[in-house]
Amino acid sequence: MSASSSSLPTPASAVDTDAPASTAVGTDPRPDVGTDPRPAVGTEAPTAAGTGTGAPTAAELLDFVRRTAEDSALVASLPLDPEGRTWLRLDGPGGSEAWLISWPPGTGTGWHDHAESTGAFTVAAGGLREHSLAARLPTDGWRTLELSEGIDRTRLLATGQGRAFGRHHVHEVLNESGHEHAVSVHAYYPPLPQIRRYSRTGAVLRLEQTERPEDWQ
């Protein structure tokens, strides 16, 4: 990938909508579990994940994370660590990847995307803030990018609230509370092939690294 700088051109296509068995427990997972590319400025629109192939849609992923977030026993089973995020791997619908994640006060993901995966998440306890870009970024060929005005979106999600999103969704998720853990449920389809991590200074977005499943599983 060249160390070039370019400006952002056209509208994004990400979805915006407002008791699985666990297989692993750990700390500080890389997905959004995490959490933070395409050309254009605009609003986000629903995208199905594999319609017609038997794969779960974005709406089905959102329904799954909402139902899972209502499982109080499962949510309570997640160990909380004041020093970092903890996670529980779940069995998502239709072969999707799913996680139950805790967020200590003041923690967040940083800016990132989810490559070709569609996803959804819901807050099971506490509250989370999401900052996102309502634009498609170029998928490759750049290292720094100047963002156009008007593409930033922010939302505060309280307990029971969630959202779904389409491929290449760029965002960061934060627990802004100074004293309360947050817990959330996330699902992605197809299972995350990679995550691209970004830093941001004002309107300038910079690609910092690319992570693959072996980096967080």
The model's pLDDT over 51-78, given as tens digits with 9 standing for 90+, comes to: 446 899 999 999 999 999 999 999 999 9
Look at residue 41 and tell me whether its pLDDT is greater than 50. Answer: no
pLDDT band at 128; cut points 50, 70, 90: very high
Q: Residues 44-71, buried b or exposed e (16+ Cβ, 10 A)?
A: bebbbbbeeeebbbbebbbbbbbebbee
Q: Full-prediction pTM beyond 0.85?
A: no
Q: What is the pLDDT of residues 10-34, one digit of tens each?
A: 333 333 333 333 333 444 444 454 3
Tokens of 119: 């996803």
Kindly report which listed range (50-54, 70-74, 92-96, 183-187) carries the lowest average pLDDT score. 50-54
Give the SS3 label for residue 20: coil
Q: To 10 degrees, the CA torsion angle through 48, 49, 51, 53?
A: 180
pLDDT band at 177 (very low <50, low <70, confident <90, very high): very high
User: Which of 107-111, 135-139, 144-148, 202-206 is least confident?
Assistant: 135-139
Q: Residue 58: its pLDDT value, please?
A: 95
High-pLDDT (> 90) share of the chain, %:
67
* Per-residue confidence (pLDDT) for residue 197, from 0 to 100: 95
pLDDT band for position 175 (cuts 50, 70, 90): very high
Residue 112 has pLDDT above 90, yes or no: yes
> What does the pLDDT read at residue 40?
24
